Amino acid sequence: MATFTETPQLSTRFEAALVYATRLHNHQVRKGSNVPYISHLLSVAALVLEDGGDEDEAIAALLHDAIEDQGGETTRAEIRQRFGERVVCIVDGCTEDKTLPHLRWKERKLKYLEKLRLAPPEVRRVSLADKLHNVRSIVADWERVGESVWQKFKGGKEETLWFYRSFLEIYQPQGSNFFTLELARLLSRLDVTR
């Protein structure tokens, strides 16, 4: 039986981040659905907390797509001002560089994967929680619509699965936890559909 120590508390900073993330992503839905985007951000934050992440990591989980999807440098400055340098560094670590439009999809993904290989543990935790939730959503969609789920991804089935398998190659050498074990199990399930 697990022994629990003092319960970590979330402060009003987390509450403010939740409101801020909800406002930033208010008109955004999950790819190929009508599901409000905030559902993804809440799920990623929950996974981070369940894995032992602290409040800064949970806030970064709520904001991990804010710079990439909702305002770039202006949003980065707001995050720094509202939530501090550590939070903005984690969000930066989880952000793909879209300032290089000449790069193809796979080249951008390779740059992001390389960045994660060198990332500190807090960035890796938030990033992996993000990818785990994404793959959970893909599996749920696949169960509803079958192979047509892959049509909504620029990389199609093969490249999308390659991208998520690449995360396992980065994270498994660091040791398995429930994130990596579940991600491996879900990807194996999707691989069966080949």
pLDDT, one tens digit per residue, over 51-91 is: 999 999 999 999 999 988 887 889 999 999 999 999 999 99
Domains of the chain: 12-192 (1.10.3210.10)
How high is the pLDDT of residue 142? Answer: 92
pTM score of the predicted model: 0.89
The chain-wide mean pLDDT, for the chain, equals: 88
Please determine, for residue 99, whether its predicted confidence score (pLDDT) is greater than 70. Answer: no
Q: Write the DSSP string, the chain.
A: -----SPP---HHHHHHHHHHHHHTTT-B-TTS--BTHHHHHHHHHHHHHTT--HHHHHHHHHTTHHHHTTHHHHHHHHHHHH-HHHHHHHHHT----S-TTS-HHHHHHHHHHHHHT--HHHHHHHHHHHHHHHHHHHHHHHHHGGGGGGGSTTHHHHHHHHHHHHHHHHGGG---HHHHHHHHHHHHHHHT-
Q: Is 51 a catalytic residue?
A: no
**Do the beta carbons of residue 149 and residue 138 sit within 8 Å?**
yes
How high is the pLDDT of residue 11? Answer: 93
Greatest CA separation for the chain: 53
C-alpha–C-alpha distance, residues 131 and 116, integer Å:
12
Please determine, for residue 174, whether its predicted confidence score (pLDDT) is greater than 80. Answer: no
C-alpha–C-alpha distance, residues 105 and 150, integer Å:
15
Amino acid at 151: Q
Catalytic residue among 54, 69, 159, 182: 69
Q: Which residue is listed with tokens 């039986």?
A: 1
Q: Is 78 a catalytic residue?
A: no
Nearest alpha carbon to residue 93 among 181, 9, 170: 170
Please determine, for residue 120, whether its predicted confidence score (pLDDT) is greater than 60. Answer: yes
Give 159-171 pLDDT, tens digit per residue: 999 999 998 898 8
Catalytic residue among 51, 54, 68, 159: 68
C-alpha–C-alpha distance, residues 114 and 13, integer Å:
31
